[in-house]
Amino acid sequence: MVEILKSFEQVAGRLSPVVLVVPGVAAAVLGLVAWLAGMCLRRVVLACFGAAVGALISLIISGQNPAVAGVAAGGGAALGALLPRVVLALLLAAFGVAITFAVLAKAPPPEQPSTLFGGLDAGQTETYTVSLSLDVVRTYGLDVVDWVKAAARELMPVNWAILAAVGLGLLLLGLLFGWTAGALTCSLLGTALVFAGLTLLLLFKGSNPIGRIQQQGAFYGLVLVGMVAFGTLEQLLVCRPPKRQPGGKSQQGESKHAWRNR
């Protein structure tokens, strides 16, 4: 995985600025909102995130097909906006499974990355077009998928049992403790998006962030854990769950009834 990311880092300097800057800024802004106020604006945050994930998946699976991308983005946005509690529980389980998989999985034998340049001339220095840049991103995405599949084939049955237990346990926690688990999930999501967005922007500037992260992994890990802890506590204090009035009447309904009786 690290080799794929480092290879992408080398190619990133030739990608169209639109492919790096626009997603980088959008991810950083959405990440800040999710990190500090995700539970206050959870439907908006999850709708935007679902649309982005749907568009990215459609790019990897079907290529640059605007119709498929629009349908996938719309479906992801609708799912996030209509079922926020379920989506947050699924995201919490996904984060837990991903982290556990990263710990348990062994890197498959190194192979020649198919993404380096494909049919492109490795010696050229000009900036790629937007269409060609998206093709490069798609190819690297497919390489990551192949790496995950290869690593998954190396897992033992006991490892799969651990992954299933972690995923199911976190899913149940997310559904049972909706607000607390949601704050943790929004903090995780916001931290991941801010980290990804800043990485894309640093790649655009040519700062080689992936190599630095590899050299100082423990430091960046502590920073991410601190961000997640701060975001969770901040949202539990600031983003309070809506209060329900006795008898199932909402506060808005009571205010309207009182206004009519004046």
Give the domain ranges of the chain: 2-241
* 210 Cβ contact list (under 8 Å, min separation 6): 2, 5, 6, 8, 9, 199, 203
Note the pLDDT of residue 124: 56
Question: Quick one: tokens of 207?
Answer: 């700062």
- φ and ψ at 239, to 5 degrees? -90, 80
* pLDDT score recorded for residue 110: 52
Question: Which bin fits 246, alpha (ψ -120 to 50), beta or left (φ > 0)?
Answer: beta
Q: What pLDDT score does 109 carry? A: 54
Up-side HSE of residue 200: CA atoms within 13 Å toward CB? 21
Rounded to two decimals, the pTM is 0.85
Contact in structure between 41 and 183 (CB atoms under 8 Å): no
Predicted local distance difference test score (pLDDT) of residue 250: 44
Model pLDDT, residue 257 = 43
Residues of the chain with pLDDT under 70: 107-125, 242, 244-262
Quote the distance between the C-alpha of residue 254 and its chain's center: 40
Specify the pLDDT at position 254.
41
Q: Using alpha carbons only, what angle is made at residue 45 by residues 171 and 163, rounded to the nearest 5 degrees? A: 25
Q: Supply the pLDDT for residue 132.
A: 92
| Mean model confidence pLDDT for the chain | 86
Q: Report helix, strand or coil for 177.
A: coil
Spatial neighbors of 31 by CB under 8 A, at least 6 apart, are: 189, 190, 191, 192, 193, 194, 195, 196, 197
- Other CB atoms within a 10 A radius of the CB of residue 62 amount to 13
Q: How far is CA 141 from CA 3, 110, 136, 157, 206, in A?
A: 13, 17, 9, 27, 21
Residue among 196, 242, 255, 211 at smallest CA distance from 42: 242
